Amino acid sequence: MVKKISLICLLAFMVIAFSFLTSSGQDMEYKEYKVLKGDTLWDISSKEIHDPFLWPKIWKENPDIKNPDRISPSQMIKIPLRLIQKEQEEEASTEKASAATETEAAVPKKEEELKPIEKTIEPVKKNYLADENLIIASGYITDYISKEIKSVGKVTGAPSGKTLFGDDDFIDLKADSNINTGEKFYVIRPIGMIRHPQTDKKIGHFIAVVGIAEVIGMENGFTKAKITKAYGDIRVGDLLDTFHEVEPLIETDAPRKPEISGFVIAAHQQLTITGAMDIVFIDKGSNDSLELGDILKTTSVDKFNNSRTVGAIQIISLKNSTAAAIVKKSESAIMIGDEVSGLK
């Protein structure tokens, strides 16, 4: 009887200890972050993980955030420690490799090691103006103003029954034509009609590219796809656009500075004020002889008709009559309606 009681006590102790360790382990899986005024999940991911495109992984761990575009100051969110640790491990690995190289260079070489050896010519390091993710996630303005948005299908639901999706989630698609396993689509969402800030003339629909989906087959009569990249919250009803590969843009030593005159007509995510490294759209495109990598200056005109240069932008994607550009520098906020012209 005494042995039986002792055994029960031992088992109870082990259960309590296991629960404590499990609970402690769960507490250590996340870092709590207090949202500051003006914060977005994009900003928080950039600050804490050093990669803004990982923000959907933070959102996925915070199911109480229904709309990722709406987070409030003082709100507490959880950031998976594994993402932070991965970044720290990569930095430590880089520092360790650098230190090992310096140590090796400082150690005196034996006579036979001092013999001339053939040198391998290292490729020139390329600096990117914009990688493919930034170019895609910037979205675009259509070259048409008809009410109907051109698409090749839409997101109809999901096996899980969810209505909001992120990286690696599975969704159901309905396409306008037969599609094959392995085929990819851009998931897009029309945001609104862009009008010219000077004339109020319709220019085209602003389209947000919220992700990339790849077809993996059929399931229960539905076309099933996997979200391979999420640039925003993907929703039931979002449209599909034809996929094409996008190449990153490489910085050049002497970018073109064309003589051109136009206006800033929109900003990424419909912002009205933009600063360095934000994305703006202008009312000039390939039909105006613009090319990728071209640099333009932005000029602001105040109410007294005084003008001053406020920044420089560089073209990262082109449509026929519009273009997206990254803000390279800004002395003050660049706003919709500012003029753009050749940078002398």
Q: Are residues 287 and 304 in the same domain?
A: yes
Q: Are residues 310 and 264 in the same domain?
A: yes
Residue 156 sits at the vertex; the CA angle it makes with 150 and 160, to the nearest 5 degrees, is 150
CA 94 to chain centre: 24
Q: Are residues 64 and 137 in the same domain?
A: no
pLDDT of residue 27: 44
- What average pLDDT does the chain have? 81
25: confidence class by pLDDT, cuts 50, 70, 90: very low
Q: Are residues 237 and 281 in the same domain?
A: no
Total domain count, the chain: 3
pLDDT at 305 over 90: no
Query: Which has more pLDDT, 50 or 227?
Result: 227
HSE-up of 55 (CA within 13 Å, CB side)?
Answer: 22
Q: Are residues 300 and 228 in the same domain?
A: no
- pLDDT digit string, tens, across residues 102-135: 545 445 555 545 455 555 555 545 678 888 999 9
pLDDT of residue 215: 96
Residue 215 domain-assigned?
Answer: yes
pLDDT of residue 22: 42
* CATH value at residue 298: 2.40.10
Helix axes 81-106, 41-49, angle to 10 degrees: 30
| Cα torsion through 161, 162, 167, 170, rounded to 10 | 10
pLDDT of residue 24: 39
- pLDDT digit string, tens, across residues 227-241: 999 998 999 999 999
Residue 117 domain-assigned?
Answer: no
Rounded distance between C-alpha atoms, residue 70 and residue 60, angstroms:
14
- pLDDT digit string, tens, across residues 182-226: 999 999 999 999 999 999 999 999 999 999 999 999 888 889 999
Residue 3 domain-assigned?
Answer: no
Q: Are residues 141 and 214 in the same domain?
A: yes
Q: Which of 65-79, 157-171, 195-209, 304-318 has the highest mean pLDDT?
A: 195-209
Q: Are residues 186 and 237 in the same domain?
A: yes
Residue 147 domain-assigned?
Answer: yes
* CATH value at residue 92: 3.10.350.10
Domain span holding position 57: 25-101
Neighbours of 284 (CB within 10 A): 24
pTM of the model: 0.65
Residue 128 domain-assigned?
Answer: no
- pLDDT digit string, tens, across residues 149-173: 999 999 999 988 888 999 999 999 9
